Chain A
Amino acid sequence: MFDDRLSALQNSAFATWIQETAYPVVITAHSIGLAVLVGLLVVIDLRVLGFAKGAALPGLRKVMSVVWIGFWCNAISGAMLFVIDAKKDYYSWLFRSKLLLIALGLIMGATIASTVLKKADKYASGEADAPRQAKVLAVISLVAWVSAIFVGRWLAYSTYGDIGVSE
C-alpha cells in the first residue's frame, strides 16, 4: 500500500519533469546549499574549538541566518531528489542515516547558536574561549556533517538492486 504511494510519487508527472529537465539544476543547488550550510557551520565549529581567536563568538550569530538559507535550499532540492527515487531512498539505510546525521548536525548547530553565540556579554571578547561542552558539540557537529556527506555520496551510487527493492 505504502509502496504503491512511493511508486506513484516517482512515476508522477512532477518526477518525470525533474528527471528530464530540472535534474542538473537541482543537484547543483543541492551542492551549493551544502557548501553554504556545512561550510559556514564548519567555520562556527572551528571558532568554538579555538581557531580564529579574535572573531567574537556572538558576532557569528548573524551567520546562522545564512546557514538556514543553505538548509532550506537543500531541504527543497533534497525533497525533489527524493521524489525521483522515492522507493529506493525510503528503503535505503543510507538515506535514513543521512536524515539522522543531518538532524544531529542541525541540533548541534542550533544548540551552539542558542548558547555560546547568544551570550553577547559573556563572550564579547574576541579572545573568549568557548566552554568545554560547546567544544564537544562542535566536534560532534563536524563528524555528523562529514558523515552526512559520505552517506549522501554513497546513496547516489547505490542502485535499486543494492537496496533490495524493485523500481
Chain B
Amino acid sequence: MDLSSNYPILLWIKSLPPGEFVRSTWWAFPTLQSLHFCGMAMLVGIVGLLDLRTLGLARSLAIRPLHRLLPLAWVGFGLNLVTGLLFFMHDPFIYAFNPSFRWKLLFILLAGVNALWFELGVFTNLDRWQDKIETSNLAKVISAISLALWIAVIFGGRYIAFTNSAAPAP
C-alpha cells in the first residue's frame, strides 16, 4: 500500500530539483555513492588513526600534528553530508522510516558528542600532547568508543538496503 500521500513534507522534499536531478540521470546515484565512500574513507581514516594512536599504536607519532588533520576530516564529513542529503532527497521514503538509517544517524550524533568529549575533556593541555606521550585511560576509553561508533555507522549505512523502509500504517 502506498502511504506516501500521508507524508506531504516528504513528498515535497522528493519533488525538489536536487532529488529530481538525481532520479533523472542514470549516473548521478552511483557517482554520489562513490563520493560518499571517498568521504567516509577520509573521515574515518583520519579520526581512526587519531583513535588508534591514542590507544597506543605507533607511540613514536606525536598526536598533536595528527590532530591538525581534523579540518580534512571535516571536509570528508561535509562531502558525506551533501551526498547523504542528495540520497535522501532522491527518495525520502527509502530513508525516513528505515531503522538502519535512523540508527546510523544516531551513531553519527553519538560519535560527534564523543569527539566533543575528547576535545573538551582530554585534549586540553596541548603542549603535553606535543610529545610522544602515554595517553590517559580516559582518552583510551573515548577513542575505543569512537572506533566502535564509526564501525556502527558503516553497519547502519550498509544495512539500509536490507531493512524494511515502509512507512508505518496510520
Interface of A toward B, CB cutoff 8 Å: 24, 27-28, 31-32, 34-36, 38-43, 46, 51-56, 58-63, 66, 126, 145-146, 149-150, 152-154, 156-157
Query: Hey, what's the 0/1 contact readout for B55-66 against A, CB within 8 Å counting as 1?
Result: 001101110111
How many whole Å from A121's CB to the nearest CB in chain B?
Answer: 13
CB pair B44–A35 under 8 Å, yes or no, is yes
State how many residues of chain B have any CB contact under 8 Å with chain A.
Answer: 38
Q: How far is the CA of A156 from the CA of B37 in the complex (A)?
A: 13
How many whole Å from A27's CB to the nearest CB in chain B?
Answer: 6
Write out the residue numbers on chain A whose beta carbons fall within 8 Å of the beta carbon of B157.
31
Write out the residue numbers on chain B whose beta carbons fall within 8 Å of the beta carbon of A24.
158-159, 161-162
Q: Which of A32, A62, A152, A154 touches B58 (beta carbons < 8 Å)?
A: A62
Give the segment of B3-11, B14-22, B46-54, B117-125 that binds chain A.
B46-54
CB pair A31–B154 under 8 Å, yes or no, is yes
How many whole Å from B10's CB to the nearest CB in chain A?
Answer: 25
How many whole Å from B101's CB to the nearest CB in chain A?
Answer: 14
Write out the residue numbers on chain B whose beta carbons fall within 8 Å of the beta carbon of A146.
38
